[in-house]
Amino acid sequence: MAVTAHRPTARKRQADTPSGRPARRRGRVQWKGYLYALPALAVLTVFLLIPLGQLVQISLFHWDGISASTWAGLSNYTEIARDPRLRAGFLHSLVLILFFSVLPIALALALAAITTRAARLRGVSVFRALIFLPQVVAMVVTATAWTAIYAPDGVLNTALRAIGLDAVARPWLGDFSTALPSVGLVGTWLEIGLCLVLFIAGIGQIPGELYEAAKLDGAGLVREFLAVTLPGLRGQITVALTLTVIAALKTFDLVYVATHGGPGNATSLPAFEVYNRAFGTGQVGSACAIAVVLTAVILLITFLITKLQPEEDGT
């Protein structure tokens, strides 16, 4: 007896699709999703991508912002590698990462562990608010206040002289050896609050059963922090590291108000050099080249930091 093969009907083929819908219908739904994102993409293109393209274009010319431009090719970029001042500016940014990122994260981790343990003590919430306060103060105000603190007759030197440390007192922002660390410590003071808020929120998401299990295993405070709290804050640490590193690399207003890149070029930074060359010395092409390189460095470091982000469950 012959057995005839039956071809699946169109309705059967449609039911066999993963979503139970025709392929044309699924494609139409996907295009609708892109249409919803179109306004945001339009704004991104007009206010970011097009100016970024113009930035790259101008970086290939010698231009003072007024007269006609002349073709420069890659000479503005090679100048960054040859000019000692520009090289020093990028090295200073790497130093500021220590003050803006590494120190605030380490101190905020310690403060988060302490304040969560002492959550029931009176005044802890006020302490957290005071730590976060620098985040809501304008950078110009912060820079002006710290300039007054670091002044030769400022609060810091007055306090040092009052306790007999006259030899330590100095013009902190006017000394070649202390100007950059002094600016960096302002960044540490600024970023601790942001990191602390992130870490306290992250600790609140760690299951309490993990801490109970650690206590049953006989773990002390330090071991509990290393075995439970620190791994549980991996995502928050990645976010804090990204935000603080970007803040260090794009620092401008703090240096502009406090030191103006001085003394000499001791606190010169790429973002400040972009402003100084574009509006101070009329080297717009060179300023754009520095901005392009700085953007590339920020994107590269941010990409590397995101590799620390823990994978979601089920991935």
**Mean pLDDT along residues 46-64:** 94
What whole-number percentage of the chain has pLDDT above 90? Answer: 61
Report residue 288's pLDDT band, with 50, 70 and 90 as the boundaries.
very high
Q: How far apart are CA 277 and CA 76, in angstroms?
A: 12
Beta-carbon neighbour count of residue 252 at 10 Å?
A: 15
Q: How far apart are CA 266 and CA 80, in angstroms?
A: 17
Strand runs labelled E in 59-149: 61-62, 70-71
Q: How far apart are CA 315 and CA 305, in angstroms?
A: 19
Q: Enter the tokens of residue 139.
A: 């950078």
pLDDT digits 0-9 by tens, 143-168 = 999 999 999 999 999 999 999 999 99
* CA distance readout (Å), 51 to 46, 55, 57, 154, 293: 7, 6, 10, 43, 15
Helices 234-249, 179-205: inter-axial angle, 10-degree rounding: 160
pLDDT beyond 90 at 20: no
* Amino acid residing at 299: L
Q: How far apart are CA 77 and CA 72, in angstroms?
A: 10
Name the residue among 304, 276, 302, 303 with its Cα closest to residue 291. Answer: 276
What is the domain class of 75-306 according to CATH?
A: mainly alpha
Whole-number pLDDT of residue 150: 96
Report residue 97's pLDDT band, with 50, 70 and 90 as the boundaries.
very high
**Mean pLDDT along residues 206-216:** 87
β pairing state of 70-71 and 61-62:
antiparallel
> Of 22-31, 115-124, 262-271, where does mean pLDDT reach its minimum?
22-31
Whole-number pLDDT of residue 123: 64
